[in-house]
Structure 1
Amino acid sequence: MNARTLKLMVVVATLALGTATAAELASSHPRQWLQPAKGGVATAAVVSKLTAVYGPLTSDANWYVGSYVCLACHQEYTGWRETKHNQALRQPRPEYSLIPGKGVVADYDKNGIDDFQQGLDFNTISSVFDKYKPNAPKLSFESGKYYITIGSLKMPVVFTQGGTGSWKQRFGVRIPVSDLPSGLSAEIYMSPIQYNEATGRYVLYNDKNWYDPTTNQPKWAAGVTSAQLASHGGTYSKKCIGCHATGIRELGQTATGEWLYRGWIAAVYDPADPGVFDYDGDGNADLVNIGCESCHGPGLQHVLAGGAQSKIVNPAKLSTQEANEVCGQCHIRVESVPNGTHEWPYNDATKKSWIPGSGEPLSNYYKDAGGYWPDGQSSKQHHQQFEDLYRSSKPTFQFHPVRCTECHDPHVNTANKNQIVERIVSDNVTIPTQNDNNTLCLACHATHGPFSSITKEQVADLEANIDHIENVVSAHSHHPYGPDRKMGLSRCSKCHMPTIAVTAEAYDIHSHTFEVIPPEKTLAFQDKGGMPNACAVSCHATKVNSFGLGLDPSLGTWNEKFDRDLASALMKYYGPNGLWWQKTLSAGQ
């Protein structure tokens, strides 16, 4: 009898006796889910709470149980709690103020007080909201709660999105309404406020949802009804929740027309975790954010079967295509099918979500809505990595089809940025990996192609073999070798993964096509505004004046004289008759 079977017996016995509720368990033992000896009690509380909400348990119930239930057995993955997957949506709490990944991080004047607690009033400062004065947003904090006031509406902040130390933070609010008993909208709406972490500045986020573009007056005022809000463009349940929650229990419109997502409930969780909260207002905390079951599928049957592997999806055992679709279900910019109602893979006719390991192609659930540069191949907007990947040869490479998880660890914040793996085992050699010293790429690319003279053992012992690796990579790049320095000379990703997409500031997201964007593309699409090329955006337009042209006076614009002159100069080295690389664009490129 294995430990998990024994634990299941404890679960059954405990259910028969009728133990504490999940709420009691969570409040009295906030770390109970981490106690292996008492994991059965935690599981019993989960099943008891789920049946109380969903009804009697059936043999084919396909319910989500929540990541804290998973962690009761799989404690080696507790690091997931600190990943961006779990920290995207958070209930704002004062005890976590200015802590990235936990609380409100907005602090435009860097005085050590978050802008809500400081009472920032955009009517009193110069900002992107100037045209909306005297009805520009006001931030406030009262009795432990965060608020945004626009005109006559004072709105509670239900959650923050982002603010993990990398890109940006946005704010979801409920709007006071006159026709519902609660006095607040059922739906959560994204405010027009976005705080960019790297620069500490505020930018507008879909402000047209809040202000009339002809009068600059607020669209919504005291006395607004939920029926009137049905036309609000910032509805989170309709546009966003599919990629910021673990499963969708129900999704539809209320009697007055507001969109509303109802989540799978979090029966057992750590009350100190701001990423677990009541999204839909039914009194139960919901499984918002990306948890274990987003990738492994619903976990109830796995739990009831004593942890049987046959009852859960393991992406590592899926085909490369299926495993990459697990990531692709969210790292993609799409519309639902057939009506294009939602902005994630979803069948809005059958109200069915794609589930990992189901055997159905992800493509059955979406149509592409990506934002691209004029070549139609290079992503201009963020969360399009899946589309990028399948525009490259990587996932279908005949010698080694590449999976997202070979470069990124979904379970833990590694010592590298963006959860890049810390080691790769290749040809039975364990190679410590980093993006900035090229070991991440060389762990696979050594021994073949331009790097055939580099062995895996040499990459694993980088310091001892740096001279040889430097010579080989520099011969390929035609540049000096300093990948881990500020300029990143001869760093693989500088050329093959240039930062050409935007999530907060231009440009802060890497391309994932792995194709070097040639200078000729900047010139080929001048009539469409031009586009960045890898040489310019990674170095020659922003960091070094190699051709006596200076640096780009307006990065983000690609059809000015500077851009054309620089692209022409670069084509002498990388172009149809390039001295270093010969590249000619074919039709459609």
Structure 2
Amino acid sequence: MAAKKDRQPRLRLSTLGTVAPMAFASLLFNPLPFATANTHTLVEDSATQAVFVGRKTCAQCHQKEDQLWSGSHHDLAMQVASQKSVLGDFNNVRFTHFGVTSTFYKRDGKFMVRTDGPGGKLHDYEIKYTFGVYPLQQYLVEFPGGRLQALSIAWDSRPKSVGGQRWFHLYPDEKIAHDDVLHWTGLNQNWNHMCAGCHSTNLKKNYQPEQNRFHTTWSEINVSCEACHGPGSRHLAWAEQAENRGEPSKDGAQGLVVRLKDRDGVHWTIDAGTGNAQRSVPAKWGIEIELCARCHSRRATISEDYAPGRSLHDTHLPALLEERLYHADGQIKDEVYVYGSFRQSKMYRTGVTCSDCHEPHSLKLRASGNAVCAQCHLPQKFDASSHHFHKPGSMGASCVECHMPAKTYMVVDPRRDHSIRIPRPDLSVKLDTPNACNQCHTDRSTTWAADAVQKWVGRTPKGFQNFAEALHAGRSGAPAAQQLLVRLAADDSAPNIARATALSQLGRYLSPALLDVLKPALHDRDPMIRAATLRALEALEPNARFQLARHLLQDSVRAVRIEAARILAAVPQEQLAAEQRGVLAKAIDDYIAAERVNADRPESHLNLGILYANRGSFSQAESAYQTALKLQPSFVQAYVNLADLYRLRQRDDKGEAALRKALEIAPQDGDVHHALGLLLVRQKRLEEAMTALTEAAKLRPESARYQYVYAVALNSTGKSLAAIEVLTKAHKRHPNDQDLLFALVTFERDRGNLDSAVRYAEKLAELLPHDRFVQALLRRLRTQQER
């Protein structure tokens, strides 16, 4: 099967994607304006555990809020399929996608679809639930084992005048066969894991690993009052007692699980000089944003013990500004669901919360068009041609078109970038990032847009987010990367999500001098900074990691604690005192529990296998990898890890069998070919090894490592010219890769091509200006060149 360009499952508010659940160890707290995560006000009383009472009970007193909520996207997030809830055309309508014709029809009052099932043959399925409402509606089908699966054919609920009122496939340009990981009957389109928690209230996934089945429950099918406010029984009791007494209760919390008080007593006053509003009191809580972020973020779940008002990072791992998710300047690339973007914004820094712009019950904007921005930004200054340089009323005069450009996901669903930034076409010229100007002016170049902005403003505006060059350098391994990343990591004026990303990237540039930068970050008041810094320490030997990070094994925030456990798991037990072994074991138990939250996913068992292998528990590691393969037989990464485990156990015969099995499943997987090639090298079966390494390099031309290993193998068989050709092509793609440059220096020198060797050594010296070995190598080569 040809490689897919986009392997992201397309489900409403999907949270994990196709990546390992524990891959999102980034934390996103800024030092200002909000207090740290573990200072939130959570009202709890273990003696009187609150329980869910339902929307109808809430509506008895809160009629206004209930009316606003009725008909909202939260109200209609999930519904039983009925004549009222189903928007799609089920009047014997046929839809064909890559040769598979599906029929939507009704039978005995039920909504039905005849489409390809798990084996690829057509079957009839009943639609049990609707999922979402606008601009598309998806449909859920019941399967054995308590599973609900989301059809990949959805209904476009937009008006017909804009292309809606039609069936369409969420992967319109791809053939999704029945054995594809993205087929609607597979793991990656499973409702129980991918999306259930954010479309219903009090959702309990209840996966039972022994039976590989779900017993998923909810208290209300949609996103109702208690999804945000928490279970309401104690609040109900408080209200009844207050009514009986005839006077207000002294309970300031009013029996609520959490008080959403971010905006209590707050008003914004526009400063006539700047035209911008100032908050009457500094923001202190951040509860509301974290509460919304539980669903409106790209994150993984690490605990099901969620309660509104608790630190998000006790139960979830939000993503950093990773290359596959965000552009280098922080603009959205993949589906990231607002939170990570908003954390970058100046609005967040000044204390703006979600409900400043969105009415929290109806979810509608508090005002239409530019008026929502005019709440805080003086229209005479900002909603004027002197500011936006466009015709009034035109698209270019719209605040959001310039400062919150949209990207379309799921074919028909445009979502706005909540980083709320100044357009920077100059960065597009330099770094190939997108910009709002060229999103409209598609017939113009980025240079034209940059020149226009320069002419209008008289300078190149920088805006609030000024970390693009640092993150781009870190991603590409540019010569100035270390310096730029260190500067960003230490910049308190930068968004903490960018600082954390910089810290996580510093691992590839780790040196003794850098430890002085990382040590304070391990004690930072923000859990996000602490966790991101732990990632950077992975380049150190286990004992060195332990000396620096052992205190974080007892961190008050779960996300930090389990990340510390992960990177310290390989520390030899015999080198630790009894008390230290106990602390590490407890943190590792927390990590294992976090992974088991997602025990229905193969990635979690892969992560557990890695943990057990690092601990020397090889039997447990093998069992974990085998479990991953039971859940998803096509999960080839588990075969690769299993083969490496057999290597550690000196059982390459079993490792080869595992890799051969993987190639039967995925013959075009370059990772498997590469792993097999290395195994065959160890067995001195060099001709077979060369075949496998050649295939890996051909299938993965973007992998600098695979090209390097292939070139070394070629050179070792006397094919130095071919090796240099491979390295030269790879160097053009990866100009800052140190291994490629080292190999080019070495191979060119050995062939007597000193001019070329010196040229590559100079590039290497530029990348590693403080590396004594590299500088000495360059001096020797220049001396030889002059003879």
TM-score, normalised via structure 1 length: 0.58
Corresponding position of 2:153: 193
User: Which residue of structure 1 aligns with residue 387 of structure 2?
Assistant: 476
Q: Does 1:582 align with 2:473?
A: no
Q: Does 1:329 align with 2:236?
A: no
1:262 aligned partner, one-letter code: T
Q: 2:208 maps to what in 1?
A: 253
Query: What do residues 108-135 of structure 1 show as CA deviations (whole Å, max 9, x unaligned)?
Result: xxxxxxx21x11123xxxx4x1x243xx
Equivalent position of 1:86 in the other structure: 75
Q: In structure 2, what residue type is equivalent to 1:496? A: H
Q: After TM superposition, list the pairs within 5 Å mapping 1:87-126 onto structure 2.
A: 87-94=76-83, 96=84, 103-106=85-88, 115-116=89-90, 118-122=91-95
- Listed one character per residue, the Cα deviations across residues 435-483 of structure 1 (whole Å, up to 9, x for unaligned) are x2x222122122xxxxxxxxxxxx6xxxxxxxxx27972212222322x
Once the 2 structures are TM-superposed, how far is the Cα of residue 234 of structure 1 from its aligned partner? 2.0
Q: 2:428 aligns with which of 522, 546, 550?
A: 522
The residue number in structure 2 matching 1:223 is none
Comparing both chains, which one has the higher relative contact order based on Cα–Cα distances under 8 Å and sequence gaps of 6 or more? 2
Following the alignment from structure 1 to structure 2, what is the Cα–Cα distance between the partners of residues 580 and 479?
A: 17
On the 8 A contact 1:330/1:383 being kept in 2, the answer is: no
- 2:437 alignment partner in structure 1: 535
Q: How far, CA to CA, are the matches of 2:149 and 2:383 in structure 1?
A: 53
* Partner amino acid, structure 1, of 2:72: T
TM superposition shift of 1:515: 0.4
Q: 399, 412, 415: which one pairs with 1:492?
A: 399
Deviation string, structure 1 residues 506-528 (Cα, Å, up to 9, x no partner): 7x1111111023223433445xx
**Alpha-carbon spacing, 1:139–1:517, altered in 2? closer, same or farther (3 Å):** same
Q: Structure 2 counterpart of 1:406, which letter?
A: D
Do structure 1's residue 387 and structure 2's residue 340 form an aligned pair?
A: yes
Structure 2 residue aligned with 1:73: 61
Instruction: Evaluate the alpha carbon distance shift between residue 302 and residue 154 of structure 1 in structure 2; reply closer, same or farther with a 3 A threshold.
Output: same
Which deviations, in whole Å up to 9, do the C-alpha atoms of 1:384-417 show, x marking residues without a partner? 21111101121222xxx101101000112xxxxx
Of 365, 373, 386, 1:441 maps to: 373
**Alignment CA distance shift 1:581-1:63 (3 Å):** farther
Residues 472, 147 of structure 1: CA spacing in aligned structure 2 closer, same or farther, 3 A cutoff? closer
- What letter corresponds to residue 388 of structure 2 in structure 1? S
CA distance in 1, matches of 2:426, 2:205: 49
What are the Cα deviations for residues 300-338 of structure 1, in whole angstroms up to 9, with x where unaligned? 22123335643112313574411211211111111223x
Measured in 2, the distance between the counterparts of 1:471 and 1:169 equals: 37
Structure 1 position 169 matched with structure 2 position 137? yes
Q: Which moved more, 1:386-395 or 1:316-325?
A: 316-325
Change (3 A) 1:376 1:519: closer
Aligned-partner Cα distance in 1 for 2:139–2:102: 12
1:260, CA displacement in angstroms?
A: 3.7
Larger Rg: 2
Contact 2:238/2:254 (CA < 8 Å) preserved in 1?
no
- Structure 2 equivalent of residue 211 of structure 1: 178
* Distance in 2 separating the partners of 1:196 and 1:512: 25
Alignment correspondent of 2:677: none
In the alignment, residue 154 of structure 1 is paired with which amino acid?
D
What is residue 290 of structure 1 aligned with on the other side?
A: 223
2:418 maps to 512
Once residues 212 and 251 of structure 1 are traced to their aligned partners in structure 2, the CA distance between those partners, rounded to angstroms, is 26
Q: Structure 1 pair 361/254, CA: closer, same or farther in 2 (3 Å)?
A: closer
**Structure number having the greater helix percentage:** 2
Contact map agreement 1:174 1:188 (CA 8 A) in 2: yes
- CA separation of 1:572 and 1:579: change in aligned 2, threshold 3 A: farther
5 Å matches for 1:346-357? 347=303, 351-353=304-306, 355-357=307-309
* 2-structure distance, mates of 1:208, 1:251: 33
Residues 152-167 of structure 1: pairs in structure 2 closer than 5 A: 152-163=122-133, 166-167=134-135
Partners of 2:381 and 2:387 within 8 A in 1: no
Q: Distance in 1 between matches of 2:336 and 2:470?
A: 27
In the TM superposition, what is the alpha-carbon distance from 1:244 to its structure 2 partner?
Answer: 0.9
Contact 2:297-2:318 within 8 A present in 1 as well: no
C-alpha distance in structure 1 between counterparts of 2:287 and 2:218, whole Å: 25
Distance 2:233 2:197 in 1: 20
Identify if the C-alpha distance between structure 1 residues 170 and 524 changes in structure 2 by more than 3 Å, giving closer, same or farther: farther
Work out whether residues 262 and 287 of structure 2, in 8 Å CA contact, stay in contact via their aligned partners in 1.
no
**Quick one: distance in 1 between partners of 2:314 and 2:325?**
19
Cα distance change of structure 1 residues 525 and 159 upon mapping to structure 2, 3 Å threshold: farther
Tell me, what secondary structure is at the counterpart of 1:327? helix
RMSD over aligned Cα, in angstroms?
3.1
SS in 2 for 1:509: strand
C-alpha separation between the residues in 2 aligned to 1:364 and 1:256? 25
Q: Does 1:310 align with 2:260?
A: no
State the alpha-carbon separation in 2 of the partners of residues 540 and 523 from structure 1: 15
Q: What does the per-residue CA deviation read over 1:526-566, in whole Å, with 9 as the maximum and x for residues that have no partner? A: 5xxxx5311122x322xxxxxxx4xxxxxxxxxxxxxxx52
Q: Is the 8 A contact 1:325 1:362 kept in 2?
A: no
Question: For residues 124-181 of structure 1, what are the alpha-carbon distances to aligned partners after superposition, in whole Å with 9 as ceiling and x for unaligned?
Answer: xxx4x1x243xx3221211111112223422111111122xx3111111013xxxxxx
Q: What secondary structure sits across from 2:74 in the alignment? A: helix
Query: Once the 2 structures are TM-superposed, how far is the Cα of residue 380 of structure 1 from its aligned partner?
Result: 2.7
Matches of 2:396 and 2:318, distance apart in 1: 38
Q: In the alignment, which of 218, 224, 232 is matched to residue 263 of structure 1? A: 218
The offset of 1:489, in angstroms, is: 3.5
User: How much does 1:381 deviate?
Assistant: 3.9
Q: Which residue of 2 aligns with 1:15?
A: none
The alignment partner of 1:366 has SS state of strand
- Give the Cα–Cα distance (whole angstroms) in 1 for the partners of residues 344 and 218 of structure 2: 34
Report if aligned partners of 2:170, 2:410 keep a CA contact under 8 Å in 1. no
Count how many residue pairs are aligned between Structure 1 and Structure 2.
Answer: 375
Aligned residues of 1:65 and 1:298 also touching (Cα < 8 A): yes
Relative distance call for 1:404 and 1:232 in structure 2 (3 A) is: closer
Once residues 395 and 352 of structure 2 are traced to their aligned partners in structure 1, the CA distance between those partners, rounded to angstroms, is: 24
Question: Is 1:147 paired with 2:105?
Answer: no
User: Following the alignment from structure 2 to structure 1, what is the Cα–Cα distance between the partners of residues 209 and 79?
Assistant: 24
Amino acid at match of 2:58: C
Shift of the 64–472 alpha-carbon distance from structure 1 to 2, 3 Å rule, reads: closer
- Whole-angstrom distance in 2 between the partners of 1:250 and 1:420: 32
CA distance in 2, matches of 1:317, 1:472: 28
Question: Aligned-pair distance for 1:186?
Answer: 1.8
Q: Please give the alpha-carbon distance, in whole angstroms, between the structure 2 residues aligned to 1:367 and 1:380.
A: 16
Question: Structure 1 residues 82 and 213, CA, compared in 2 at 3 Å: closer, same or farther?
Answer: closer
Name the structure 2 match of 1:365.
316
